Structure 1
Amino acid sequence: MKYYAHSLEGKPQETWQPLDEHLANVAKLAAKFAEGFDSEDWAHNAAWLHDLGKADSAFQGYLMRENELDDSDYDSGRINHSSAGAAFAKENLGNCAGLVLAYLTAGHHAGLPDWFSSDSGNAALSVRLVEGGINLAKIKQYVEFVSEKLLPCTTPAKFVKSENLHFWMRILYSCLVDADFLDTESFMDSKQSGYRAKFAKLSEVKTKFDLYMDSFANSAEKTQVNSIRQKILFACRSAANNPAGLFSLTVPTGGGKTLSSVAFALDHAEKHGKSRIIYVIPYTSIIEQTAKTLGDIFGTENIVEHHSNLDADKETQQTQLASENWDAPIIVTTNVQFFESLYAAKSSRCRKLHNLVNSVVILDEAQLLPPGLLDPCVKAINELATNYGITLVLATATQPALPKLLKTHEIIPQEYKLYEHLKRTNIEFPENLHTPSSWNDIAEKMKQHEQVLCIVNTRKDCHDLHALMPEDTIHLSALMCGEHRSKLIAEIKASLKEDKPIRVVSTQLVEAGVDIDFPVVYRALAGLDSIAQAAGRCNREGKNKLLGKVHVFVPPKSAPPGLLRKGVDKTMELASLPDFVPDNPETFTRYFRLFYNSVNDTGGKTLHEQLVKDVNPYIHLQFRSYAMEFKLIDDQAQRPVIVRYSKSEELIKQVQIIGPTRENMRKLQRYTVNLSVWKIDKMKSDGLIEETRDGILIQTMPNLYSDKIGFDIYKETLPVEDLIQ
């Protein structure tokens, strides 16, 4: 009897994809994906088992019915094709190999499962294995055929231990699900499949980069800053010859870190045969700038952006497909997408992971890793560098002393003394850090300057200070949607370039990586890293003959409790010392050690409880439960609200009439503002926000969104969650 994996609508059976053909194709592709971490046999076996249950007459009958063919020779029971292979593995391949393959096989559609049913009910592997055993009994003949295809593998790759088994399994799972997706797509939609992998080779984009950098160096002004940037570039290119591993790139803001780190990555990739470059950025507010810079060099057709703030109109079918599995030479993404994928359970999130293997990853602004998840983030960095052939570069002006991070190779030689030679600002602290300034005082000081930036700690502070400033002052905060912020940042850059008067009041979203250059910056007292980043927006190009002025002040209200307050406290502790120099690299190291020691929970305990504790000897893992907990942004405390700004009105009408689609929701991501659940409930009861039956939140009254301040939520007292950034 012939079994089929996939059918074609309206086509005769002889055109359908035979099951054995699909399994063989997936096995070949998955094994190829797993070569980079010595796990080909495991991927091969997982692939042969993943659709074993499709040989069940219930599934074959389903294909017949879906194509309106006679199914009288088949069962019409419930269809579950993923549990049979899991049950076979558990019953026949031993506790270790059997259970590893059972997790992968059972989860190839629904996601990597938990073992225990306490959190996931019938979706737990322990429950599904029982059902799989029943299904298995119905397909004995096909089981015999598949079992002959399996390769002997009893122990994982040599580097796999109890503490990193979950990590290896997740990347192995990535090989399986991507191979399954690609082979299915190739059969079901060959036209779409043809759009994939049409990018230039990494060697070709490197040629473009080298030509650009030569032209840039020849045309750049002969300034001291540009001379130092050339030295930094030279150091990066020299360090690229070193063996793969962990690197740090510590360069003061404005030192050309972005392009120099990419130069290192391209040269290193050429030297060591790396597959791709992945540029990871902490905030969506700055990712557009980096993506545009790289797009101008490499061509936008060779850059894949993968983040929530992407303008859907800029996507091509090719880049959209490549964002699914990161099969492109240059990827630009966010911390959220990168780290949450590394601990994900869903097939769509994990699918890309095998393409991290043998790549170069640049972690920009590494000091912004979330303190509450620092332990699993550092473990992931160590794991990728040690066992998967990945070179990682931690690039920042304020290099953090990350606890338990393996030894890094610093790219910049000490003798460069960058922080002396690139000193373009003087950071002035108040004499008394316990005496606050009023917003009126700060406003009056700002009014004395034609070009000035003030960065504050909360959205409420931004709102209050802006209200005291002249009418043409720009307000910038996360109460503005991504489309609005992008427009304002472009306006700010244009005014500065034309040397026009401009005053800006902003939250910390401008601090990391936004290339703006003010002669004077005011910064509310915060963590020392934030103060240093604020200083990077002052006299950035070093064109002022005198040092730029960065004035730190104590705001009227203390920072909200939590990490922001801890940062303030540790800055005050260091500032009280007689040898305090705020822009010295050694001071940053001391600050981060103090700060991280003050964080009560860095996420290690939950990781151990869910994914390590019950590995030996049981291999009981809670993949799904941990993935739901590992969130860089707490989506339980906040939810996105679609606001009425610019082109969002037409998109909102589409959602209200025809419902959400992938296309309109992708476009609407640029028109969202995150608010606390508490505030949303209040605004819903007041009729200011509506929730559709699909759970989408939409601003109702157009006048609630202002071109000046964004979403106007400051008409009553708000909780802390609504105040930060």
Structure 2
Amino acid sequence: MEKDMIAHVRKNSGDTWAEPHALSDHINGTAKMAAQFASAFDSDEWGYVLGLAHDAGKSRPSWQGYLRTKSGYDEFAHIEGKSRKILHAIYGAILVEEIYGKEIGRILSYCIAGHHAGLPDWSSSETGNASLKDQKNKIESTNDIDSKLVDMLVQSKPKSIPRRFSQGLDISFWIRMLYSCLVDADFLDTENYMDGGKSILRGGYLSIDELLEKLNHHMKKFEEDSSRTKVNLLRNEVRQKCRVAALKNQGIFSLSVPTGGGKTLSSLTFALEHAKKHGLERVIYVIPYTSIIEQNANVFRSVLGDDQIIEHHSSIDEENETPKSRISAENWDGPVIVTTSVQFFESLFSAKSSRCRKLHNIANSVVILDEAQLVPAEFLKPILSVMQLLVDHYKVSFVISTATQPAFSYKNEPNFKFQGLKGITEIIGSTEEVRTLYDSLKRNNIIFPQDFDVPISWNDLSMDLIKHEKVLCIVSDRKSCRELYKLMPENTFHLSALMCGMHRSSVISEIKQKLLSNEPVRVISTQLVEAGVDMDFPVVYRALSGLDSIVQAAGRCNREGKSESGGNVFVFIPERPAPPGYLRKAMETAVGILKSAPIKEIDNSIIERYFSDLYWKVNSLDKAEIEALLDPVKNDRSELSIYYRTASNRFKLIDDRTQKQIFVRYKDGNELIDRIKKDGPDRMILRKLQRYVVNVSTNEFLRLRGIGAIEEVYPNIFALSTELYYSEEYGLISDENDIDISKFIN
């Protein structure tokens, strides 16, 4: 290729033009890097060709002329989007099909066509003109693409499609992983030219061996300093079992440990030992709630060092973020990643380049699914299918870590056939060994109501709760939480998702401090405290719910085993049953099991039966038909018809069609909202504001907007119009009768 062909241009600090980024340098740099990334799953030749072909359209005279516009250059011409009139990606997509034929070419075509705009559908009414078929039909000829580049591509033809990637979800996910390699390589090579200072910040992390050495040093000191209580001795035993199991072959593991049994550091021990044994590159923690992420990430930092942990979630504390960690979150190139279930699973099914960019770095990893019972049942089938593909073809090991193991294994029963996961290995050992561990760590008694058909009133329940100086009561919905809270005495704490993340973190911290100081503390909460939040109460009340929720609630009772006689967990029938949908079905499934025969203990065999029954009752384990959209065999194999964009739009663990996001005026949220009103949003302000978000139903959103509680501070950005609608006690106020105007009167 001619050296005067340009891929990118930029300005120096003095507003003069820097030396242009030669197109030949860019495509060769991208090709080598994409090949390196794709070698993780033995597809380097495919990555290399993608790098060569992705910007072939930029070699056309019309595009080169477009780059050199009136002022001499167009600095943003390389970015495709609605405002860019001269396309380049689709030309490379068409070219590879012309050179290699439909079978090989179409695989490459999806990646190249979408390397800016996102993976396309083949042909779909949901994405209209953005589909690959429609884009191809708009281009008349590729004859003006540089002939030397065409020759390079002809000589670099990939071998046939590997057999293991040739069918169904295998091929669509393989294309997605190739796409990730291309997008990340393209980003990095461009970044190196556009912002060399940013690229210098990448890398430089400790190796897995060095991290394991730090962990071992910490654990040795911790075990020497810790009291030799029964609970601590059992936690040490769990860690030793993790060390032994880590030496086994890669695959899918379960870590069944009661709450308070030390899963966090035990799973880290397994992950680093397993990574060392098999030459893996990173550990990825997938956690359902940001409140647990912050808690666990702080534990990991204290063990491994502040600069070794990459948090990737919307509510990250700016104080814990550095320029290096911020750019590493873009593509997960660090050794320990801590992220949310939403970020991890939605990325696996996303069409966006920014979200897919990191996927190739999941290969050669250990992935810990913490509190795995919270994986949403409506998307369970496609999630488990992709997990199995990562294990089978991408050198990934999964650890399903929870006190209440979901029934993820293959099932073939008369009323329920479930593909599930293959060959799950329990780290603790045999069924008997797991039962022994649970019996040894038993620290409380679960007391069920005598009659499951007789509810207790909130008033009577509040009178029971007041009898205890330290008590936690968990209900299944926000409205019940607020109604019960209003009946409690002063100094009771309220916790629900109507409080923003910053507010909840502050309250949880205060509750923990009171517990440590042995002060009286009463808490009314929704189920957000059940998954991994370290609280230790002598008495817990739990509204009737799914058995997994009841067991998780029990994990907040006598957690440290301080009471030798054990704590008490009272299950009660609430005034208002669990909300319709999954929570209601979970409650009904639990009642069915509890009524069928007297149960003294909820052991793992009962939990497995519970989840099997629950999954059978769920209308669909793939409600959005994600697998069908991503399986060309079920669509049109001759055209390799895959619907990436539609699947991405449908795969939403939090459905933004039924929920709306509101920024609330709590503490610093006030100033941030006012800055957006005055100056408009920028990335940093929006990142900070994620700590001040409350999600509400669309109906509730419309009602609040109708009474003037919400204003549109910027197009499609909504915030509370006044502090009157946010309470320091219980968060967002949905009932105007709850407004306390006295604090605003001088």
Aligned to 2:51: 47
- Rounded Cα–Cα distance in structure 2 between residues aligned with 1:458 and 1:714: 16
Matched, 1:501 2:520: yes
2:650 to 619, 626, 629: 629
State whether residues 256 and 404 of structure 2, in contact with CA within 8 Å, keep that contact through their aligned partners in structure 1.
yes
Write the distance in 1 (CA, Å) between the matches of 2:10 and 2:167: 44
Instruction: State the AA in 2 paired with 1:4.
Output: I
Query: Is the 8 Å Cα contact of residues 39 and 157 (structure 1) preserved in structure 2?
Result: no
Is it true that 1:478 corresponds to 2:478 in the alignment?
A: no
Aligned pair 1:37/2:41, yes or no?
Answer: yes
| Residue pair 2:309, 2:335 contacting (<8 A) in 1 also | yes
| Corresponding letter in the other structure for 2:10 | L
User: Which has the higher mean CA deviation after the structures are superposed, 677-686 or 297-306?
Assistant: 677-686
TM-align CA RMSD: 1.9
Cα distance in 2, alignment partners of residues 688 and 146 from structure 1? 62
Q: Does the aligned pair in 2 maintain the 1:312–1:663 contact within 8 Å?
A: no
- Which of these residues, 319, 333, 344, is aligned with residue 338 of structure 1? 344
**Corresponding residue for 1:586?**
605
How far 1:13 moved relative to its partner? 7.9
Displacement of 1:25:
0.5
Q: Is the 8 A contact 2:680 2:714 kept in 1?
A: no
Q: How far apart, in 2, do the equivalents of 1:157 and 1:5 lie?
A: 36
3-state SS of paired residue (1:183): helix
Q: Residue 298 of structure 1 aligns with which residue?
A: 304
Residue of structure 2 aligned with 1:86, choices 65, 90, 93:
93
Alpha-carbon distance in structure 2 between the residues aligned to 1:582 and 1:695: 50
Aligned partner of 2:224 among 218, 225, 233: 218
Alpha-carbon distance in 1 for matches of 2:594, 2:493: 31
* Partner of residue 622, structure 2: 603
Q: Which amino acid aligns with 2:85?
A: R
C-alpha displacement of 1:379: 0.6
SS of the residue 2:494 aligns to: strand
2: distance between equivalents of 1:392 and 1:371? Answer: 18
Where does residue 246 of structure 1 map in the other structure? 252
Match of 2:367 among 322, 345, 361: 361
The 10-residue stretch of structure 1 (599-608 or 48-57) with the greater mean CA deviation from structure 2: 599-608
In terms of mean alpha carbon deviation, does 200-209 or 280-289 score higher? 200-209
1:326 and 1:355 in contact (8 A); partners too: yes
- By how many angstroms is 1:89 displaced? 1.4
State the Cα deviation string for residues 682-723 of structure 1 (Å, max 9, x = none). 211211101134210110121111110111113489xxxxxx
1:565-588 C-alpha deviation (Å, 9 max, x unpaired): 101111111111224244211110
Matched, 1:510 2:512: no
- In 1, the alpha carbon distance for the partners of 2:501 and 2:621 equals 30
State the distance in 2 between where 1:522 and 1:485 align.
20
1:703 aligns with 2:724: yes
Shift of 1:556: 0.6
CA displacement, residues 432-477 of structure 1 (integer Å, 9 cap, x when unaligned):
0010000011111110111000000000000000000011000000
Shift, 1:336, TM fit: 0.4
- Aligned residue type for 1:42: W
Aligned AA (1:281): I
Deviations 1:411-437 (A, max 9, x none): 002353111111101000000001000
Q: Distance in 2 between matches of 1:110 and 1:582?
A: 53
Instruction: Tell me which amino acid in the other structure corresponds to 2:539.
Output: V
Distance change (3 Å), C-alpha of 1:715 and 1:12: closer
Query: Normalising to structure 2: TM-score of the pair?
Result: 0.93
Give the Cα separation in 2 of the matches to 1:232 and 1:115: 49
Alpha-carbon distance in 2 for matches of 1:442, 1:707: 24
- Please point out which of 529, 534, 537 is paired with 2:556: 537
Q: Is the contact between residue 55 and residue 142 of structure 1 (CA under 8 Å) also seen in structure 2?
A: no
The answer (yes or no) to whether the contact 1:160–1:168 under 8 Å persists in 2 is no
Aligned twin of 2:686? 665
Shift of the 592–70 alpha-carbon distance from structure 1 to 2, 3 Å rule, reads closer
**Matches of 1:28 and 1:69 in 2, distance apart?**
27
Question: What letter is aligned with 2:599?
Answer: F
CA change 1:171–1:152 in 2 (3 A) is closer
Corresponding residue for residue 182 of structure 1? 188
The letter for the 1-side match of 2:380 is L
Three-state SS of the structure 1 residue aligned to 2:476 is: coil
Give the structure 2 partner of residue 412 of structure 1: 428
**Structure 1 contact 419–583 (Cα < 8 Å) conserved:** no
Unaligned runs of 5+ in 2: 76-83, 409-417, 739-746
Between 49-58 and 426-435, report the one with greater CA deviation. 49-58
Partner of 2:744: none
The 2-side partners of 1:471 and 1:436 are apart by 25
Residue in structure 2 matched with residue 60 of structure 1 by the alignment: 64
The amino acid of 2:11's aligned partner reads E
Q: What is the one-letter code of the residue matched to 1:482?
A: G
Note if 1:396 corresponds to 2:398.
no
Q: Which residue of 2 aligns with 1:28?
A: 32
The structure 2 residue matched to 1:15, chosen from 4, 19, 28, is 19
Shift of 1:540: 0.3
Following superposition of structure 1 onto structure 2, how do residues 617-656 of structure 1 map, counting pairs within 5 Å?
Answer: 617-656=638-677
Q: Deviations over 1:225-280 (max 9, x none)?
A: 11111111110000000011100000011100111011000111111111000011
State the Cα distance separating 1:657 from its structure 2 match.
1.1
Cα 1:60–1:356 shift into 2, 3 Å: same
Structure 1's 157 and 4: CA in aligned 2 closer, same or farther, altered over 3 A? Answer: farther
Question: 3-state DSSP class of the match of 2:347?
Answer: helix
Q: Secondary structure at the match of 2:638?
A: coil
More off after superposition, 602-611 vs 346-355: 602-611
Separation (CA, whole Å) in 2 of partners of 1:716 and 1:138: 70
Asked whether the equivalents of residues 704 and 734 of structure 2 are also in contact (C-alpha less than 8 Å), the reply is no
Aligned-partner SS, 2:164:
coil
CA distance in 2, matches of 1:696, 1:637: 16
Distance 1:144 1:588 in 2: 59
**Is 1:112 paired with 2:119?**
yes
Using the alignment, how far apart are the partners of 2:101 and 2:349 within structure 1?
26
- The counterpart of 1:164, out of the listed 166, 170, 181, is 170
Following TM superposition, by how much is the alpha carbon of 1:14 offset from its aligned partner in structure 2, in angstroms? 8.3
Q: Distance in 2 between matches of 1:380 and 1:611?
A: 11
User: Cα 1:473–1:437, aligned 2, differ >3 Å: closer, same or farther?
Assistant: same
Percent of residue pairs bearing the same amino acid type: 46
Please give the alpha-carbon distance, in whole angstroms, between the structure 2 residues aligned to 1:523 and 1:418: 24
Which whole-Å deviations, capped at 9, do the CAs of 1:150-182 have from their partners, x for residues lacking one?
233332353442232111111110000000000
Aligned position for 2:411: none
Amino acid at match of 1:153: K
| AA in 2 matched with 1:409 | T
The one-character-per-residue Cα deviations of 1:162-217 (angstroms, maximum 9, x if unpaired) are 23211111111000000000000001110111111122222222221111111111
Greater Cα offset, 91-100 or 136-145: 136-145
**Superposition deviation, residue 62 in structure 1:** 2.6
**Paired residues, number:** 712
After alignment, is 7-16 or 179-188 more displaced? Answer: 7-16
Structure 1, 463-472 or 216-225: larger mean CA deviation: 216-225
- Whole-Å Cα distance in 1 between the matches of residues 514 and 445 of structure 2? 24
The whole-number CA distance in structure 2 between the counterparts of 1:530 and 1:645 is: 30
- 1:63 offset after TM fit, Å? 2.2
Alpha-carbon spacing, 1:512–1:111, altered in 2? closer, same or farther (3 Å): same
d(CA) in 1 for partners of 2:16, 2:485: 68
Q: 2:743 maps to what in 1?
A: none
Question: How far, CA to CA, are the matches of 1:191 and 1:359 in structure 2?
Answer: 28
| 149-158 or 518-527, which deviates more | 149-158
Bigger mean CA deviation after superposition, 277-286 or 425-434: 277-286
**Do 2:165 and 2:174's aligned partners in 1 also have CA atoms closer than 8 Å?**
no
Shift of 1:604: 6.6
Displacement, 1:133? 4.2
